[in-house]
Structures are given as structure tokens and as C-alpha cells.
Amino acid sequence: MSMMGGQFARNLEDVGQTVATFDKYEAAQKAVSKLIAEDIPAREITIVGQGLRSMERVTGRLGYATAARSGAINGLLLGMLFSAVFVLGMPNVPIQAFVGVLFVGIAIGMLASLLTFAIIRRRRDFASVMQFVADHYDIAVAGSSAGRARQVLGPQAAPAAPRTQVVAPPAERTATPQEPPRYGQRIEEVTQPEVPTESAADASSDASAPDADQDAATRDDDKA
């Protein structure tokens, strides 16, 4: 039996050192029983659920027939209780009165269940069971009993090391000609080869023309 609140409530910082970690709550319970059997003070032991989350299991759809059936069962139990009290108070009561009280209890149970369903059916038309589960359960021991608790549970129940997520460094991006440079990025100057212009080409052709005429005149003189 577990007790919550009151003088048994302790802060998370006061639970002590984690001596074991289990995936199932039943395994954590067995570990606590083992520690208590080895004379570890029970008031120094705490089961801490890590990664607590709620889980609601849907058990079926609600309707007037389902509500009437469940109300009839509850009313039958209520009628049996009233009949037993009635018989104990009046031992000579006839059997018809006993059966009548049963039917009255069934009718009251069905009516109450139908009224309840008529009120909540717009918000909820299914039946479910709510429970709380955790990813894992830690056994914490306060005081000087933590070392002895580790020896009792053994190395197989040692707390797991904290998981560290490795983050890969971002890949370097190379600027493409179509992509504008990012803010703070240095732009390298690219030197382009010089292309001769049309005027420079014409000037060089005009300058070489007299030299060609002079060479032709020299060849004519040699032939003469």
C-alpha cells in the first residue's frame, strides 16, 4: 500500500542517491522488498518514476443500452444490500418484499446511469481507463545506506549512464555564382583575363600595314 502526501511526502532533492534503475514498476517493487529484507531503513527508500506520462485506454463505446446495462448491475448490488438490511431488521418479511426491493434497486441504478449518460454524452461517448506510466523507475536511497543498497542489489541493477545526444557539426556551404553572399562573409576578388578590344586590334593592323609595304618594295628592288 502506497501513501501519498502528508508526513511521507519528500522533495525530489531529499530522496538521496540513485542506486538502481528498472524498466518495470514490478521490478522496482521487488528491489525495494529486497532492500527492506536486508535491513535497509524503509523510510530512506524512494521509487522515482522518470518520464511520467498519462495513458488512457479506450474500453468501448457508450450508448443508452450500455448505460442501462451497467446501471442495472449497480442497482442489483444496491438492491441486494437494501434487502439484506431489510431482512435483518424484519426476519419474518415475506419473499415478495425481498424481490421487490431488488427490483427497486435495479430501477434506481438504471435511471441514474441513463441520466448520467444523457448529460455527458455530448462531451464523451466512450468508456476508458486512465493510468500513468513512466519510461523507467529509479530506486533512490537517502543517508549512509546508499552504498550498502548498491551492494545488496548488485551490479545488474546499476543505474544507466545518462544518454548524450551527439550533434553533427553543420556542413560548410560553398557560395555559388547564383547564390548571393551571406552576411559577414568575405568576398574574394576574381581577376578576369584581359580581352583585346576591337579598336586595339584595328590599331595593330594599321601599324603593321606600312611594314608590309616596305618589305614588298625591298623584294622588288632585289629582283631588278
199-221 pLDDT per residue, tens: 444 545 555 555 555 555 556 55
Q: Is residue 4 part of a domain?
A: no
One domain, residues 68 and 41: no
One domain, residues 48 and 71: no
Q: Tell me: the pLDDT tens digits for 134-153? A: 889 999 998 888 888 888 88
One domain, residues 41 and 138: yes
One domain, residues 68 and 119: yes
Do the beta carbons of residue 164 and residue 46 sit within 8 Å? Answer: no
**CA neighbor of 84 nearest in space, from 59, 57, 105:** 105
Q: Is residue 212 part of a domain?
A: no
**CA neighbor of 135 nearest in space, from 20, 53, 55, 46:** 53
One domain, residues 75 and 120: yes
Question: What domain range is 139 assigned to?
Answer: 10-52+134-157
- Which strand ranges, in their side-by-side order, compose the sheet holding 17-22? 17-22, 136-141, 45-50
One domain, residues 127 and 21: no
59, containing H or E segment? strand 53-61
**CA neighbor of 125 nearest in space, from 69, 62, 67:** 62
Q: Tell me: the pLDDT tens digits for 122-138? A: 777 777 888 888 889 99
Q: Is residue 24 part of a domain?
A: yes
Stronger pLDDT, 90 or 30, i.e. the higher one: 30
Do the beta carbons of residue 86 and residue 18 sit within 8 Å? Answer: no
Q: How confident is the model at residue 32 (pLDDT cuts 50, 70, 90)?
A: very high
Q: Is residue 123 part of a domain?
A: yes
One domain, residues 45 and 143: yes
Where residue 28 sits, what CATH number does that domain have? 3.30.70
Q: Is residue 216 part of a domain?
A: no
Do the beta carbons of residue 159 and residue 19 sit within 8 Å? Answer: yes
Q: Is residue 217 part of a domain?
A: no
Report helix, strand or coil for 50: strand
Domain tally, the chain: 2
